[in-house]
Amino acid sequence: MGVTQQARRAVGLAGGMTAILMAAACGSGGAGEPGAPAASAASAAAGGPVTVEWWGWAPGYDKAAEAWNASHPDIQVKYTQIESGAKGGYQKMLAAVKAGNAPCLGQVGGETLASFLVEGALEDITGYAKDSNAKFQQWAVNSVTFGGRQVAVPVDSGPMGLYYRKDIFDKHKIEVPKTWDEFAAAAGKLHAADPKVFLTSFNPDDMYGFSGYAWQAGANWFSTSGDAWKVSITDEPTLKVANYWQGLLDKKLVDVKPAWSDAWFKDFTDGKIASLVGAVWMTKVLEDSIPKTSGKWAVAPMPSWEAGTTVTGNVGGSPNAVLKGCAHPKEAVEFATWLATDPGAFDDLVVNGGLFPTSADGTSLPAMKAPRPFYGDQPVFEVFSEAARTVAPSFGWGPTTPVVNDAFNSAVGEVVTKGGSLADALKTVQEKAVASIKDKGLSVAEG
């Protein structure tokens, strides 16, 4: 038993290592040194138009592809909308890679890129992308780069901000908190003034929201050193965040309804939750989900840990990755870069899809300045534009995000419903994350 198990593990490990190595090898083999632009352009012209297949699900992508095709006869993009990643889109892409009929370009969430990488499903695009990376915010490029190899082109991001009910804040004379200390004080003051109202909620089942807090604090849950993964879900910044929310939980100063539940949204409608620290895409979610509170909301920067500094967390964002076997990686990267950085293209994505740009000057797009009636005609994207410039540069995801998500939601959910300590729950999450990576036959660096 012991022997076979060990043998199996060894085989698995070898397999996993090869996967990484292959991804690396094939990547660099496929990419090689970027050909001189002139030569490639010539070959594209000589060989007729090139078709780049593209799979994704973000709203607005279809129209972006049409706009590109109209102005780029040499590179035609064929867009197919598939189910979103978590609903099966990722499985479909991986299956297509195995079958050898994958599209050139696929929408792969930042939290999922690493799992695609260890499956050997991504091409290395470092050579094609390096010249245009200056057009992006640096942290966004970091988030699609593993061990020095870039595997995707960033598109949108989810910088965080403080959504708050202006009317409730005014009524109880609460100043908009600039730091987390002020935020905690406000939570106490508001709940004392009206025991039915909480300043905010701590959702027991929202790993991504929590990761955004940790991201802001400077955490880096997953990184690679050599061929080994380093897992740091219990690093010092994350524990700082956990202890902070532990304090609010212990004093019963936060609402603990599950995120996205009917009851949670109902509490927002009823004015029982007065604020929310969330990503930019919550802008549209709130507008659509709780229309009765329209005009009463406003947005401020995310509270910071140290007075006078602004560092922001990020939740979400779906880069476009070049999938293994792509015959035209250069053209695919060219299109993906245009999609994310062309002012016209992205302005449409903001309007049609509510996507928020990762490009360096994307924050000056006209759509960023539009006032929104739900937020008392505040041009809220301007707040997030500032926030996007201050996103902490270090956070990374690992190859087993779904496992981490489940582990987090069960362990933290238990703390919220039955009591216990968030720090202990994070230890459990850390152990399960390490185990899940080892189960894939990958090595984990201790420490």
Partner 1 sequence: MRASMRAQVLTTAFLFVVAVYILLPLWWLVVSATKSGGDLFDTPGLWFGELHFAGNVERVMSQDGGLYPRWLLNTLIYSGGGALGATLLAAMAGYALAKYPFRGRGAVFAVIMGAVLIPAPLITLPLYLLESRLGLLNTVWGVLLPCMVSPFGVYLARAYAEAAVPDTLLEAGRIDGAGELRIFFTVGIRLMAPALVTLFLFQFVAIWNNFFLPMMVLNDQALWPVTLGLVKWHGIRTGFLRDAVVTGALISIVPVILAFVSLQRFWKADLAAGSVKL
- Of the pair 1, 99, the CB lying nearest partner 1 is at 99
| Least distance from partner 1 to the Cβ atom of residue 79, Å | 11
Do residues 384 and 356 make contact, with C-beta atoms less than 8 angstroms apart? Answer: yes
| Least distance from partner 1 to the Cβ atom of residue 202, Å | 20
- Of the pair 290, 416, the CB lying nearest partner 1 is at 290
- Of the pair 281, 397, the CB lying nearest partner 1 is at 281
| Least distance from partner 1 to the Cβ atom of residue 431, Å | 28
Give the 3-state secondary structure of residue 65: helix
How many angstroms separate the CA atoms of 218 and 220, rounded? 7
Closest CA to 149 of 119, 115, 114: 114
Q: Is 439 in the site for partner 1 (CB under 8 A)?
A: no
Residues in the interface with partner 1 (CB under 8 A) total 31
CA 311, distance to chain mean position in Å, is: 16
Among 99, 134, 196, 308, binds partner 1 (CB under 8 A): 99
Do residues 192 and 198 make contact, with C-beta atoms less than 8 angstroms apart? Answer: no
Among 131, 262, 306, 377, binds partner 1 (CB under 8 A): 262
Q: How do 228-231 and 222-225 pair as beta strands? A: antiparallel
Interacting positions 232-261 with partner 1 (CB under 8 A): none
| Least distance from partner 1 to the Cβ atom of residue 113, Å | 19
Interacting positions 74-93 with partner 1 (CB under 8 A): 80-84, 87-88, 91-92
DSSP 115-172: HHHHTT-B---HHHHTTTGGGB-HHHHHTTEETTEE-EE--B--BEEEEEEHHHHHHT
Q: How many CA atoms does the CB half-sphere of 24 hold within 13 Å?
A: 13
Is the C-alpha dihedral spanning 82, 83, 84, 90 positive or negative?
Answer: negative
Binding mask 40-69 for partner 1 (x = CB under 8 A): -----------------x-x----------
Within a 10 A sphere around the Cβ of 132, how many other Cβ atoms? 18
- Of the pair 155, 219, the CB lying nearest partner 1 is at 155
- Of the pair 221, 281, the CB lying nearest partner 1 is at 281
| Least distance from partner 1 to the Cβ atom of residue 262, Å | 6
Is the C-alpha dihedral spanning 131, 137, 138, 142 positive or negative?
Answer: negative
- Of the pair 102, 168, the CB lying nearest partner 1 is at 102
Q: Is 98 in the site for partner 1 (CB under 8 A)?
A: yes
| Least distance from partner 1 to the Cβ atom of residue 281, Å | 6
DSSP 379-423: -HHHHHHHHHTTB-S-----TTHHHHHHHHHHHHHHHHHH---HH
Task: Give the range of 114-122, 263-271, 305-313, 387-395 binding partner 1 by CB under 8 A.
Answer: 263-271
- Taking the CA atoms of residue 285, residue 288, residue 289 and residue 294 in that order, the dihedral angle to the nearest 10 degrees is 110
Interacting positions 339-368 with partner 1 (CB under 8 A): 353-354
Instruction: Dig out the tokens for 66 from the structure.
Output: 């049409």
Among 47, 73, 100, 195, binds partner 1 (CB under 8 A): 100
Binding mask 281-320 for partner 1 (x = CB under 8 A): x--xx--xxxxx----------------------------
CA 268, distance to chain mean position in Å, is: 24
Residues that bind partner 1 (CB under 8 A): 57, 59, 80-84, 87-88, 91-92, 95, 98-101, 262, 265-266, 268-269, 281, 284-285, 288-292, 353-354
